[in-house]
Amino acid sequence: MKKIAYYFLSIALISNSAFAQEENASPQKGHQNTNKFRQLYDEFATPNMYRNASGAPGASYYQQKADYKMDIVLDDENAKLSGFETITYTNNSPDKLKYLWVQLDQNMRSKDSKTPLIETGSVSQAMRPSTFVNDFTTKPFDGGFNIEEVKDNSGKNLPHMINRTMMRIELPKVLEPGDKYSFSIKWWYNINDHVTKRGRSGYEFFPKDGNRAYVIAQFYPRMAVYSDVEGWQNSQFWGRDEFALTFGDYQVNITVPADHILDGTGELTNRKEVFSKTMMQRYELAKKSYDKPVVIVTQAEAEAAEKTKSTDTKTWKLHAKNVRDFGFATSRRYVWDMMAVKIGDKDVMAVSLYGKEGNPLWEQWSTKAVASTLKTYSRMTFDYPYHKAISVHAKQQGMEYPMICWNWGRPKEDGTYSDRVKYGMMGVIIHEVGHNFFPMIVNSDERQWTWMDEGLNTFLQYVAEQDFGEWYPDALSPKDKHFPSDRGPAEMIVPYMGGNQDEIAPIMTKGMNTYQFGNNAYGKPATALNILRETVMGRELFDYAFKEYANRWKFKHPTPEDFFRTMEDASAFDLDWYWRGWFYTTDWVDIGVKDVKKYYATSKPNQYIKDYLKSQGRTIKDLVPLVYMVEEGSADFKESLKKDTPLEDVKILKEYVMDNFTSEERKNMKTPKYFYNITFEKPGGLVMPLIVEYKYADGTSETITYPAQVWSKNDNEISKALALEKEIISITVDPNNETADIDTSNNSWPKVETVSDFDKFKNKSNK
Ligand SMILES: [Zn+2]
């Protein structure tokens, strides 16, 4: 009997329809487990000795090593680059290797490259002349590698086979686990004009003075990665998906015209040979300047240098330890400035190289943006381990290498610039310098997973942009209180996630197979992480786990699972549902409030109970005494109830409960007067925390966040029963727009009537 009483109580508060549903429930049919909170066992690789179940490197984790010694010569006259390199490859894997794979990225630009053949498109109705010339009248540029020799260290030719951007080198005998092998490659290629022919590397030509500024990368045959996950990562370079690279030490000698200024990955080991006395003195000052850059080569000196061309050469010697790649920039047109920045107990140099075209923007903000980025990223991950970070100005570029990156952002010829150019320049510098952390140090496989570096990096870019705006308020335009980040905040991703599903792929898709590359691999993962930090986990838990991931995998090769697992392992936050929804599907967020019913408690049986008893052939006397809930506005309510009946006046409660407590005890009891049955709906596929702001009649309000698991048993609709001392006057779901809800028209009760732009237009024209 008692059981029945409780049963009635609970169903009365849920809803009449729930009771009906239970009665009419159709016979169970077998179905797949599609619960959104099920663990990702089917999607994740099984943990093993190389990568363990907590997301850390396992007991047998290994990675290969590739050390390079290179002599590089720039032929400025003919825009040709040639090199001789010796690679020492260490096999730390437990496997015997019969051959080695080397990446020849420049072959993407060879005459017979297949990249243009997979490009699709139609003739445009109108084209810029430069696009027309580029697309229809320009002969294919031959920028592929010319491999002149591949030899072992006794000078014997090594058999090799080139399959487009990959070269397989046959080893004279199997490379045993733990063994090293040295070989050399001699090569040259024609450098492309990156402004007219695009590309992540190349030169810009300045017709007024006949000089070039070179930003050089992917310029040497590079070892492919061999790992426990992919074996040889020899997926071809089509031009889109970036790089998978092995860590190693580099000794690089670069010979360029004597009047060039050069900087690149690694420590300059012959500074006194290549610097003038004045430059040396300025450099010493820069090392002690923590608040503003010191100019090493002034604009006047750069402008003087561009008027002549030296026929002498100079060799710049760079030495880098534990980097995954090497890049450099060289030109006689460069202005050069530097400042010191304290990272932990070490000084790091923040450096900028730019032509006069970059000023006045670059001399003001580039080096400060570099320094600021290093501080934010070090705080969020680990102390920046290298001794410098360089930002090079290059037209239309945004590209990253260890310690050096290329960035766009050029004022007009009269030196003026728009906010778009200014913030764009600051944003791209922060982003590309940030790439030092992901993927240069936390060395994920870019060829396979674009989001692992771009997504994580764009998320931290947002954090760093906000810091930069705070630390350098005079970098902001007067109208802006904060740095106007265009990726990170939840509402920025709404148009993409709510857009055409035919043009959206899950984040967990190889880059070149996605649509809307920027939204897929940069914007959405950055937003997903920002929401995870701000809304789902909270900063303390998120930041600890994110830092743990960065530290576990710095100078190593993580996979997506290593990231997903570490974030859970370090926080005790089950996030499989979050990864599944945001990273493995194209679902979107749409949560709303569907229905609100208000009830009052009474001792008088309501019509629902009376009808039920009648149908069962029973009477009220068959039940234990019950408290009845009467819906406001119902027939029962109209008949019998005063809206403001105090709980103590509910006769049955008084007799059965209240009288059993002392007056002291009763003081500590809640005395709710208003009872609500609130139905929330979720038309969107993503499960998310349900954030609800309740506003009360007394002018107060509170926001309650129901964890995402509130949706664990019903993915479409749930109800909450509330017993309150105050009357609710309004309910708003996601009041601060922090979940990327794509349709907010169902987010309020009472419904807020919003006039669409179309209706406004219609009303106007009807007048
Ligand atoms: Zn990037």
Q: What's the CA-to-centroid distance between 441 and ligand 1, angstroms?
A: 14
636 phi-psi bin (left φ>0, alpha ψ -120 to 50, beta other): alpha
Q: How far is the CA of 362 from the centre of ligand 1 (A)?
A: 20
Q: How far is the CA of 348 from the centre of ligand 1 (A)?
A: 22
Q: How far apart are CA 761 and CA 749, in angstroms?
A: 26
Q: Kindly report the backbone phi and psi dihedral angles of residue 143, in degrees, each rounded to the nearest multiple of 5, phi listed first.
A: -115, 20
The predicted structure's pLDDT at residue 640: 60
Task: Compute the distance from residue 431 Cα to the ligand 1 centre, in Å.
Answer: 6
| Measured CA distances, 585 to 139, 226, 593 (Å) | 42, 30, 24
How far does Cα 428 stand from its chain's mean position? 14
Report the separation in Å between the CA atom of 526 and the middle of ligand 1, taken as the mean of its atom positions: 12
Greatest alpha-carbon span in the chain = 111
* DSSP-derived 3-state class of residue 505: coil
In the predicted model, is pLDDT for residue 694 greater than 50? yes
Residue 378 has pLDDT above 90, yes or no: yes
**251 Cα–ligand 1 center, Å:** 26
pLDDT of residue 620: 82
Which range among 20-34, 183-197, 407-421, 540-554 shows the weakest confidence by mean pLDDT? 20-34
Structure tokens at 31: 């179905």
Instruction: For 297-341, write each residue's pLDDT tens digit.
Output: 999 999 999 999 999 999 999 999 999 999 999 999 999 999 999
Instruction: Supply the pLDDT for residue 708.
Output: 97
Residue 396 to residue 409: CA distance in whole angstroms: 8
645: helix, coil or strand?
coil
Q: What's the pLDDT band for 494 if we cut at 50, 70, 90? A: very high
Contacts of residues 341-347 at CB distance under 8 Å and 24 or more positions apart, as own/partner, are 341/290, 341/370, 341/371, 341/374, 341/375, 342/290, 343/374, 343/375, 343/378, 343/383, 343/384, 344/378, 344/383, 346/383, 347/287
Residue range 147-156: average pLDDT? 96
Residue 6 has a pLDDT of 37
Q: Assess whether pLDDT exceeds 50 at residue 345.
A: yes
Ligand 1 centroid vs 241 CA: distance in angstroms? 11
Residue 742 has a pLDDT of: 97
* Residue type present at position 338: M
- What's the pLDDT at 639? 62
The pLDDT confidence band at residue 382, using thresholds 50, 70 and 90, is very high
pLDDT category of residue 550 using cuts at 50, 70 and 90: very high
Q: Encoding tokens for residue 748?
A: 């309020």
Query: If we measure between CA atoms, which residue out of 406, 370, 369 comes closest to residue 386?
Result: 370
Closest CA to 244 of 56, 489, 450: 450
- Of the pLDDT bands very low, low, confident and very high (cuts 50, 70, 90), residue 197 is confident
Q: What is the mean pLDDT of residues 380-402?
A: 98
Residue 538 CA, distance from chain mean position: 17
Q: Tokens for 185?
A: 């490659």
Alpha carbon of 520 to ligand 1 centroid (Å): 13
Q: Could you tell me the distance, in angstroms and rounded to a whole number, from the CA of residue 225 to the centre of ligand 1?
A: 20
Position 644 scores a pLDDT of 64
- CB of 592 within 8 A of CB of 733? yes
pLDDT of residue 671: 84
Percent of the chain residues past pLDDT 90, beyond the cut: 78
| Residue 669 scores a pLDDT above 70 | yes
> How many other CB atoms sit within 10 Å of the CB of residue 294?
19
Confidence of residue 762 (pLDDT cuts 50, 70, 90): low
Predicted pLDDT of residue 760 = 60
pLDDT, residue 190, reads 97
| Distance (Å) from CA 30 to ligand 1 centroid | 46
Q: How far is the CA of 326 from the centre of ligand 1 (A)?
A: 17
pLDDT for residue 756: 55
Q: How confident is the model at residue 25 (pLDDT cuts 50, 70, 90)?
A: very low
Q: Is 399 exposed, middle or buried (0-12, 13-18, 19+ CB in 10 A)?
A: buried
Q: Is 583 exposed, middle or buried (0-12, 13-18, 19+ CB in 10 A)?
A: buried
Q: How confident is the model at residue 537 (pLDDT cuts 50, 70, 90)?
A: very high
Listed range (320-324, 351-355, 616-620, 724-728) with the worst mean pLDDT: 616-620
If we measure between CA atoms, which residue out of 269, 326, 403, 273 comes closest to residue 85?
326
CA of 473 to the centre of ligand 1 (A): 25
Nearest to 187 by CA among 110, 267, 114, 284: 110
Residue 263 has pLDDT above 80, yes or no: yes
Taking the C-alpha atoms of residue 424 and residue 431, their distance in angstroms, rounded to an integer, is: 10
Helix (H, G, I), strand (E, B) or coil at 110: coil
- Give the residue-averaged pLDDT of 54-82: 98
CB neighbourhood size of 71 (10 A): 16
Read off the tokens for 521.
Answer: 């691999």
What's the CA-to-centroid distance between 439 and ligand 1, angstroms? 9
Q: Mean pLDDT score of the chain, rounded to an integer?
A: 92
Q: How confident is the model at residue 641 (pLDDT cuts 50, 70, 90)?
A: low
